[in-house]
Amino acid sequence: MADAAAQNFDLEDIRTTLITPTAPIQSATHGGRAKCLQRLARLDLPVPRTVALSFDVVHEIAHGQMPDIPDLLSKFDPGALLCVRPSSEDPDWGGPGTVLNVGMNDAAYVELSDRIGREAAAGLYQRFVQSYAIHVARLDPDLFDEDGGTSGSEGLSAALAAFEEEAEEHFPQSPEVQLAQVLRSMARAWEGTSARLLRQARGAPADAGLGLVVQEMALGLGRGECGSGVFQLVDSETGLLQVTGRYLSQSQGREALEGQGAIFLARDPRGPSLEELDPAAFAELKSHAALMRRRLRAEMQIEFTLENGKLSILDGVVVQRSARGAVRIAVRLCEDGIITPQEAVLRVEPQTLTALLHRQVDPKAARDVVGQGIAASPGAASGRIVFTAADAQASQSRGENCVLVRRETSPEDVRGMHASVAVLTERGGITSHAAVIGRGIGLPCVVGAARMKLSPEDRTLRTEDGRVLTEGEIITVDGTNGEVLLGAPKMLEARLDDAFRTLLSWADAERDIGIRANADTPSDAQTARNFEAEGIGLCRTEHMFFEPGRLTVMREMIFADRADDRREALERLLPMQRADFIELFRIMQGLPVCIRLFDPPLHEFLPTDRQGLRDLADALDLPVSVVTRRVREMGEYNPMLGLRGVRLGITVPEIYDMQARAIFEATLEASRDGAPVVPEVMIPLVSTRREVEIVRARIDAVAAAVRTERGRSFTYRLGVMVETPRACLQAGEIAQHAHFLSFGTNDLTQMTYGLSRDDAGRFMSDYVAQGVFPEDPFHRLDRDGVGELLTIGLERGRRGRAGITVSICGEHGGNPDSIAFCREAGFDYVSCSPFRVPVARLAAAQDAIRHKIERS
C-alpha cells in the first residue's frame, strides 16, 4: 500500500486497471497475460480494450467479496460483449479456461442478428449458454453437448430450455450477473485442490495468485471476411522457423485449432491459406509477430480475429514448445542478437531436458508388443510393473526401476510418477493428467492403452493378446510411438543435437562447479561421455560381481574359511574386474574415473530361495543343510549399518587388495595406447581416520607391487567417501590421508535422519503431505540438517588439507536445488546419473548466472 502511495497510484487503479501503455501492471500483481497485453499495447498493436483484475481482487472474489461490477462494466462500451481470461504469474502454471461472449442475452441477440445475421447470432448465444452452463453454473455437460446437437435458433432454444430445466431458473440476462458469476467461478476454480496440486507439480508455489483479464470481444463473426485464428512464426515441436497455426472463417476463440474447415496461414500445397484469402491481413500478422518477437524477446503465439478484414490482436502468449523446441528457440533468439547467451541459458527449464535425453528402443531390437496407446511423452524406459504410487516410491528407494501402471493418474500420483522411469495408463488422452505431468517432468508415458485390461484389485495387467502380467514383471513403455513391450529390449543412447550442444556450451562458460557422472557400466560411461560429463565421480563396483559367471566365484570367495582360499577365488575374479576397468578407462580416456571399492554386505550375494541354495550347494560340493546354515549365520539384523564398506576392507582385506590390483593393472593397460590414466580409488562408509590409514597402507603396498612387477610407474589418487555423520565431523582428521572427499548424500541422509532408504517410501507421501518434510530428503537435499553436516565436513576437510577436492556423489547430484546448494557451499563438483548430466550442467549455470545478476 505504501508503495502504491509513493508511486502516486490510486489503489483502485492497481486492483482493477484498464490496460494502457502506462498503467501500473506487473506480472507479480496482475499475472503474465495482463503484463503481456500491456506490452502489446505499448507496441501500438490493435488490442481490444482490456481491464486487468489483480491477484488480490481475484482472491477476494473467491472468498465472496465482489468488486464493483457496474464500475467494471462502465470501462467498456455499453452493450459490449466481453471475454474473461486467466492471468497467472507464470503462464505455464495454467488456470481456468477462457469464457467468451459474456453479456450475451436476448436483447443482444436481437441487436446482433441485425448486425451479423440471425443464424450467426443464435450460434454465438447458444455457445455462450453452453459454456456458462458447464463451466459457470456447473450443470451436467451431457445436457449441453458443445460439439453435437442442433444449432441455429432451434439449438439456442434447446440450450436455453435445458438451462432453465436444470438450473431451475431463467438464463441470467443481466450482464452484471453474468460477469460476476464468471469471475466467481474462475476465481474459485483456481483455489480448488486439484488446480493447486496441478500447478504445484508445474513448479508454482502453493499460494500462487491468479489475475483475470476482461476484454471487449472482437467477434470474428459477421459480414465480410470475419474469423479467428492463432499465428506463430515457429514450429512448436521442432523450434524451426515456420509459420504455424490455423484460421477459420466465422469463428471465435481457438475454434480454428479444432473446427472443421480451418485453413493454413502461409501458402501451403496441402490446402487453402489465409495468405491467399487475405494477403494484407497475413502480411500484417507476420509483421506484428516479428515485432513481438524482437521487442518481447520471445517467440510468441498470437490469437487474432478479422472483422470485415480488420485485424485485432486479442492475446499473445509465449509459444508452447517441446523441450527440443525450447532449446532451439532460445539458441536462435540469441544468435539473432535478441537475447544474450546468459538469457538463453535461463530460458530452458533444466528438468524438461530429460525428454531429450531418454533412450529410445533400438529400431533393430525385437519388439514383443503387448499393448498400444497414445504416445504422450517421448522416450522409452524399462522397469518392473507397480500398481500404486506408494509402491513406486518404495521401488525407487530400493534402487529398482519401475513403471507405474494406473487406470488414470491424479495429483496424488505425482510423487509416484517422479519415482518411476515411465508411466502407463489405461485411460486418458494427450492432455490427460498423466500425459501433462509426464511431459512436464520428461517421463516416458503411454496413455489410453484401453485394450489392455488393468485389474488393480488383483494387481494384474492383461495384455491385448490375453497374457496376464503381474507386479514385478518387466515391461517397456515406448512414449515415442505409444507401444508397450514385454521385457527390456536393447535401447539406443540419446545424443545431443547442435542447438543443444550450443546451449550447453554457453552454460559451461558460466558454470563454476564441475559435473561428473555416476557410471557403473561401459554403457553408462558412454552416455556420460556423450553428455560431456567431466569424468566419472562414482563407479560402484559391486554391480560387476552380479554378472553371470562371476556370482558363483564370488560366493565361493564368501564361503571360504581361510584367507588363502579367499585369495584363490579372488584371483579368478581379478582378470574380469581388470577388463571392466580397462573398458571404463578407455571410454573415459583423458578424464578422471573414481572407482569406489566394494561397499555392500557380503550376504547380499547369497541366495535366499531353496533353488538358489541347492545350486550353491552343488557348486561348492557341500550339503544343502550346511550351506543353508552358513547363509543364515551371515545374516545381519541391520545390514546397512553392519559389516559393509570399509569394515569389509579392514576385516576381509583380500577383496580390496584384488580390486586395487585390478585398477592399477588396468591403469597401465589403458595408458598404453592413450593419455595416461590417473585413477581415483575411493573407500566407502568410513567413520574414523584409522580406517583410512589401514586401508591406504595396503593399497599403497599393492601399487608398489604392481609398479615393481610391471617395471612401469603410475600415480593414483586416494579418496574417502564421507557418508556417515561421524566422518563429516572428523573430516579434518580424515582429510590428512586423502586426496579427495566425496560426500555420499544417500547414506548421509539415511544416517542423519535415522531414516531407512529402503523403507522411507512407505510413509514419505504422508510426511510430505502433512508438511513434516517439505520434500523427500532423498530426492532434494535437506539443506538444514544434512546440509549443515556437509558444510562442516567441507570446512574441516579443507582445513585438514588445503586444496583437497570435495564433491558429492549421492542422487542429489542431479537435483537443481541440491546443485545450487553445493555450488554456493563451494564444492568442486557434483556427480549424478549420466542422464542427468545435461540437466546438472544447465542448472549449475543458471544458479551461477542468477547469482551474478543478484550481485550486479
Active centre residues (catalytic): 433, 809
Residue 723 CB, nearest distance to ligand PEP (Å)? 5
Q: Which is nearer to Mg ion, 744 or 761 (CB)?
A: 744
Q: Does 811 bind Mg ion (CB under 5 A)?
A: no
- Which residue among 744, 761, 800, 816 contacts Mg ion (CB under 5 A)? 744
**By CB under 5 A, residue 747 contacts Mg ion:** yes
Q: HEC profile for 770-814?
A: CCCCCCCCCCCCCCCHHHHHHHHHHHHHHHHCCCCEEEECCHHHH
809 binds, among ligand PEP, Mg ion, none (CB under 5 to 8 A by kind): ligand PEP
- What's the closest the beta carbon of residue 542 comes to ligand PEP, in angstroms? 8
Q: Three-class SS of residue 682?
A: strand
Q: Give whichever of 451 and 540 is closer to ligand PEP, judged by the CB atom.
A: 540
The least CB distance from residue 818 to Mg ion, in Å, is 16
Q: Which class for 673: exposed (0-12), middle (13-18), buried (19 or more C-beta within 10 A)? A: exposed
Q: Per CB under 5 A, which region of 161-169, 396-404, 656-664, 742-750 contacts Mg ion?
A: 742-750
DSSP-derived letter for residue 421 is S
Applying CB under 5 A, the span of 123-131, 305-313, 372-380, 740-748 interacting with Mg ion comes to: 740-748
* Start-end of H helices in 560-688: 563-587, 610-620, 624-634, 646-651, 654-672
- The residue within the footprint of ligand PEP, chosen from 537, 810, 834, 838 (CB under 6 A), is 810
Helix (H) or strand (E) holding 78: none
What's the grid cell of residue 416? 509416484
Among 723, 776, 782, 847, binds ligand PEP (CB under 6 A): 723
What separation in angstroms does the CA of 493 have from each of 250, 381, 524, 658? 49, 11, 9, 32
Task: Tell me which of Mg ion, ligand PEP, none is bound by residue 239, counting a contact when its beta carbon lies within the kind-specific cut-off of 5 to 8 angstroms.
Answer: none
Measured from the CB atom, the residue of 354 and 518 that comes closer to Mg ion is: 518
> Given the complex with ligand PEP, which of 396 and 745 has the nearer CB atom?
745
Q: Give how many residues touch Mg ion by CB under 5 A.
A: 3
Interface characters, 591-610, with ligand PEP (x: CB under 6 A): --------x-----------
- Compute the least distance from the CB of residue 773 to Mg ion, in Å: 20
Task: Give residues 724-753 in contact with ligand PEP (rule: CB under 6 A).
Answer: 744-747
**Nearest one of 32, 26, 25, 30 to 92, comparing CA atoms:** 32
Nearest approach in angstroms of CB 652 to ligand PEP is: 19
CB of 818 to ligand PEP, least distance (A): 12
Q: If binding is defined by CB under 6 A, does position 840 make contact with ligand PEP?
A: no
Beta strands across the sheet bearing 374-377: 369-372, 483-486, 474-478, 380-386, 402-406, 422-425, 445-447, 374-377
- The cell for 37 is 497485453
Residue 746 Cβ vs ligand PEP, minimum distance, rounded to whole Å: 3
* Binding map of Mg ion across residues 692-731, x = CB under 5 A, - = no contact: -------------------------------x--------
Asked if 540 is part of the footprint of ligand PEP (rule: CB under 6 A), the reply reads yes
In order of 96, 98, 135, 519, 775, the CA distances from 190 in angstroms are: 7, 13, 13, 44, 23
Give the phi and the psi of residue 707 in degrees, each rounded to 5: -60, -45
Residues 642-681 that bind ligand PEP (CB under 6 A): none
Rg (CA), the chain: 32
DSSP letter for 367, please: -
Compute CA distances 98 → 187, 398, 539, whole Å.
12, 45, 52
CB nearer ligand PEP, residue 723 or residue 828: 723
Cell readout for 399 is: 534402487
Burial label for 549, CB within 10 Å (0-12, 13-18, 19+), is exposed
> What span, in angstroms and rounded, lies between the C-alpha atoms of 456 and 462?
11
425 DSSP β-pair partners: 406
* Whole-angstrom distance, CA of residue 400 vs CA of residue 476: 14
Q: How far apart are CA 520 and CA 577, in angstroms?
A: 12
- Distance, CA of 14 to CA of 18 (rounded, Å): 9
* Whole-angstrom distance, CA of residue 395 vs CA of residue 402: 7
Q: Which residues pair with 682 in a beta bridge?
A: 596, 719
* CB closest to Mg ion, residue no: 747
Question: By CB under 6 A, is residue 334 in contact with ligand PEP?
Answer: no
Q: Identify what 538 binds: Mg ion, ligand PEP, none; CB under 5 to 8 Å per kind.
A: ligand PEP
Closer residue to ligand PEP in complex, CB, 235/599: 599
Binding marks (x or -) toward ligand PEP, 499..538, rule CB under 6 A?
A: ---------------------------------------x
Quick one: which segment of 312-320, 487-495, 663-671, 741-749 binds Mg ion (CB under 5 A)? Answer: 741-749
Query: Hey, CA dihedral for 477, 482, 486, 492, is it positive or negative?
Result: negative
Restricted to residues 191-220, the positions that interact with ligand PEP (CB under 6 A) are none
Cα 606 to Cα 548, 554, 597, 628, distances in angstroms = 14, 9, 19, 10
Binds ligand PEP by CB under 6 A, chosen from 809, 820, 837, 842: 809
Taking CB under 6 A as the rule, which mask of x and - marks residues 414-453 in contact with ligand PEP? ----------------------------------------
CB of 747 to ligand PEP, least distance (A): 3
Comparing every residue's Cβ against ligand PEP, the nearest one is 744
Closest CA to 775 of 816, 740, 737: 816
Least Å from the CB of residue 820 to Mg ion = 23
CA distances from 710 to 467, 665, 676, 678, 773 (A): 58, 9, 15, 17, 55
Burial class (CB in 10 A: 0-12, 13-18, 19+), 460: middle
CB of residue 750 to ligand PEP, shortest distance in Å: 8
Considering beta carbons, is residue 299 or 811 the nearer one to ligand PEP?
Answer: 811
Give the DSSP letter of residue 132: I
Span of 177-185, 546-554, 631-639, 743-751 interacting with Mg ion by CB under 5 A: 743-751
Query: Which residues make up the interface to ligand PEP (CB under 6 A)?
Result: 538, 540, 599, 723, 744-747, 809-810
Query: Which residues make up the interface to Mg ion (CB under 5 A)?
Result: 723, 744, 747
